[in-house]
Amino acid sequence: MVISVSPGDRDSFNDLSKLKIYHKKGIISTPNRTVMKYDLTAKDELGADIPLTRASKCFTLQEVINPEKLKRILTENGYMAEMLSNVRSSLNKIGTPESLVLFYPSLTIDALSNLMKYKKQNEYTKFFCDISNFLGLESIMLPTFNDPTKTVSLVKKKNLQWIPVLNLNEKDMNIFTSQFNECVDIGEQDVPIISFKFVQYPSANKAYDLIMDNFDDLHEKGIASMIVDAPRMLYSANSLDVSTPHYSSFFTADLISERYSGGGGGSKTTPRLFCKNDLVTSQIDLSEGKFDLDKEIQVFDGDPKLQDLLKNIADDDLTKKDWKKGRPKYLSRVHENVQTRIEFSDLQKNISSNSAKDYLEDKTDMNTVVSNHLRKRLEE
């Protein structure tokens, strides 16, 4: 069975759709946030018994490809075995056999530049298609390499579906528009999901506008949209816009996959936690009244040690031992993972009951950003 996408319940507010994504092991619903191997590492380091993948049912297996790894992929005989061993060890941690696994070998900027310079895109594509087949996956996430038709042809020969990764930061909108349209025209049988590498809206406004103009049309064509490499942290209210991960669910993204940011616990003087009021991971300031500590502690109901650690993070009352063991950063990531899952589940329910506007009204910052952007678009 291949991955297929079907629009489900729909909300009249901005014509929001709750998608069902079918795959050979089960079904996932959107909007949703995928689990990363860094989330599972954080959970294991804390000794927390929390069902991350059981709740999400979707896992992004990201393998960062730097110039050194790229060179080994292209020149070293047998490197595939080492790569397989690495990714299999990550898969073994999932613990949820019915999860949809999206394999994302993500090239660094330097590695992508080298690959294009060497003109070895076909060799690179075949390498990771073989890895996907060894892992028993349905798909592979790869860049377009400026030629979507050629890339999808190579992937199809390996009996896989392609999830293209488009660069939102492409300066030439003619190039971005052409690649986007080509990926859509290939069709949902071969391209069930189109992913976009995150940059903030002001740095890619025209690309975001194109996606927003076609968001509902993608759904009707059986194609889902995904943002990859989304940030964990936004550093000021000025950075809240329609590209903010949770906010983008109303405009551009059915699935969201975060980038690795080194943990997210902050320095010893700046602990960070996810706030369900503005839906971002930011530095804690209890005086603002946004972060409700009593409610947040209930996320770890049944685990007094984690509750105490969360309270100490919020109160900035951590020990040197806590910092040395990395516990603040691990708890920050697990807490965010659990809370984002709850928020997306609530949004799904609101879409099903045609009450997404009610969900927005409880989120002041999100409501302001979404409403203002909708107003601008209606005025155009």
C-beta neighbour count of 202 within 10 angstroms: 11
Domain range 4-379, its CATH number among 3.10.180.10, 3.20.20.105, 3.90.1300.10, 3.40.50.170: 3.20.20.105
Q: Please name the residue that has the structure tokens 């991971």.
A: 281
Pairing mode, strands 272-275 and 280-283: antiparallel
Q: Please name the residue that has the structure tokens 């807490």.
A: 335
Q: CA 148 to CA 162: how far, in whole Å?
A: 10
Q: CA 20 to CA 37: how far, in whole Å?
A: 24
Region 216-229 average pLDDT: 96
Radius of gyration of the chain (CA): 21
* 41, 202, 241, 273, 296 from 48: Cα distances, Å: 10, 38, 33, 17, 16
Region 40-59 average pLDDT: 83
- The pLDDT tens digits for 151-173 are 999 999 999 999 999 999 999 99
Question: Please, what sign has the CA dihedral across residues 44, 48, 49, 55?
Answer: negative
Length of the chain, please? Answer: 380
Domain locations along the chain: 4-379
pLDDT for the residue numbered 370: 92
Instruction: Name the E strands within the chain.
Output: 4-11, 16-23, 26-29, 32-33, 35-36, 58-65, 100-107, 139-143, 161-167, 193-197, 224-230, 255-258, 272-275, 280-283
- pLDDT over 90 at 238, yes or no: no
**318 pLDDT tier (thresholds 50, 70, 90):** confident
Tokens of 69: 């790894």
Is the separation of the CB atoms in 131 and 102 below 8 Å?
Answer: no
- The pLDDT tens digits for 332-373 are 899 988 899 899 999 999 999 999 999 999 899 999 999 888
pLDDT for the residue numbered 264: 42
**144 pLDDT tier (thresholds 50, 70, 90):** very high
Looking at per-residue pLDDT, the higher value among 259 and 103 belongs to: 103
- pLDDT over 60 at 374, yes or no: yes
Q: Please name the residue that has the structure tokens 């890895």.
A: 131
pLDDT for the residue numbered 14: 79
**263 pLDDT tier (thresholds 50, 70, 90):** very low
- The pLDDT tens digits for 171-182 are 999 999 999 999
Q: Between vectors from CA 129 to CA 33 and to CA 256, what angle results, nearest 5°?
A: 10
pTM score, two decimals?
0.93
Share of the chain above pLDDT 90, in %: 61
Region 47-52 average pLDDT: 80
Question: Please, what sign has the CA dihedral across residues 229, 99, 302, 42?
Answer: negative
- pLDDT over 60 at 269, yes or no: no
* 40, 213, 226, 280, 377 from 374: Cα distances, Å: 37, 12, 21, 21, 5
- pLDDT over 50 at 38, yes or no: yes
- Phi and psi at 326, nearest 5°, equal 75, 15
- pLDDT over 70 at 59, yes or no: yes
- pLDDT over 60 at 141, yes or no: yes
Is the separation of the CB atoms in 73 and 65 below 8 Å?
Answer: yes
At position 25, the amino acid (one-letter code) is: K
**270 pLDDT tier (thresholds 50, 70, 90):** low
Distance of CA 337 to the CA centre of its chain: 11
- 294 SS3 class: helix
Region 143-152 average pLDDT: 94
Is the separation of the CB atoms in 241 and 200 below 8 Å?
Answer: yes
DSSP 348: H
Mean pLDDT of the chain: 90
- The pLDDT tens digits for 79-107 are 999 999 999 988 888 866 788 999 999 99
Region 128-150 average pLDDT: 96
pLDDT for the residue numbered 265: 44
